[in-house]
Amino acid sequence: QGCTQKYIVKNYFYYYLFKFSAALGEEIFYITFLPFTYWNIDHSVSRRMIIVWSIVMYIGQVSKDILKWPRPLSPPVVKLEMRTNAEYGMPSTHAMAATAISFSFFIATMNQYKYPFELGLVAAFVFSTLVCLSRLYTGMHTVLDVIGGALISTVLLVLLYPAWDTIDHLLLTSPFCPLFSIVVPLVLCYNYPKLDYYSPTRGDTTTILGAAAGATVGFWLNNQYAAPAYTSKSVQPGFLLVASTMVFVLARFFIGILVVLLTRWAMKSVVLGVLGCQYQFPIRDVEARRRLEVEVPYKFVTYSSVGFTATVIVPLLHELLGLM
């Protein structure tokens, strides 16, 4: 599975378009777009996207390892990615994530901000379609995988939408929210479906649930002790087009991303160092880092710290720097 086929790129437009589109369903997109939304657009929109994203992705990842449908054979297809090749194919979690994020963003903003309904709908459709097509172009999924992922995500959105406000209110106000947000994801990660060989799905799922857990605790703390979400004095920057200048927007974004990346690097080093001492393995031992007792706490603590930093530490830093 570590071998790649040789191929010749004949159309660089499609090649870079779909390579870029594939990245819209990966960590680089999540770690930039979701915090950007929280810092520069609207807290409530960001909360709803994170709730939907974490639920949809968990169901998608678990479904892969329960169904165990193989990815397309290579040959005849040429696979342009290798990291996720060890995972099963159905459903496409790229398709699920793209559908969930784009349409939850559209649904959450269409009644709060003035923009043409058709424009928002088309933008969400184009975004999700590009990511779905990228999975076919890169040879990572069949048409059925992609359609299945998009349909499952759509059904979950329809089921979750009526409960959005209730879930959001409970996560902001319930005294049990911090405990629930940490314990439930950890239980789900430690009881993830077992496979006969190592697959990145458990680690990726832990990353997603950890980030959502840290962010949720941050939402709760902000509502309790900083700026309550249900008051007219809530500190929310407003939509980008009517917010402060692009200088402030970019400053908030780049300072925030720098702090988030530093947090990820620092926590990864610290947690791996502690686990390495506890279980007696060198930090660079890839096989040891794949063990359940190492992978789950290492990724959960690292990314819950990232989520917490993005929702609590970075906004405090923005305020101290006069960027709010």
Catalytic residues: 94, 141
Question: In this model, does residue 234 exceed pLDDT 60?
Answer: no
What pLDDT digit, counting tens, does each position of 141-160 carry? 888 989 999 999 999 999 98
Question: In this model, does residue 183 exceed pLDDT 90?
Answer: yes
Backbone angles phi, psi at 69, to 5 degrees: -85, 130
Pairwise CA distance, residues 181 & 199, whole Å: 25
pLDDT at 114: 79
Question: In this model, does residue 182 exceed pLDDT 60?
Answer: yes
What pLDDT digit, counting tens, does each position of 9-27 carry? 777 888 888 888 888 888 8
> Of 164, 184, 132, 166, nearest to 53 (Cα)?
164
Which DSSP helix (H) or strand (E) runs through 232? none
Pairwise CA distance, residues 181 & 220, whole Å: 10
> Of 257, 254, 297, nearest to 273 (Cα)?
297
pLDDT at 76: 74
What pLDDT digit, counting tens, does each position of 27-74 carry? 888 888 888 888 888 888 888 899 999 999 999 999 888 888 888 877
Whether the ω angle into residue 178 lies within 30 degrees of 0, i.e. cis, is no
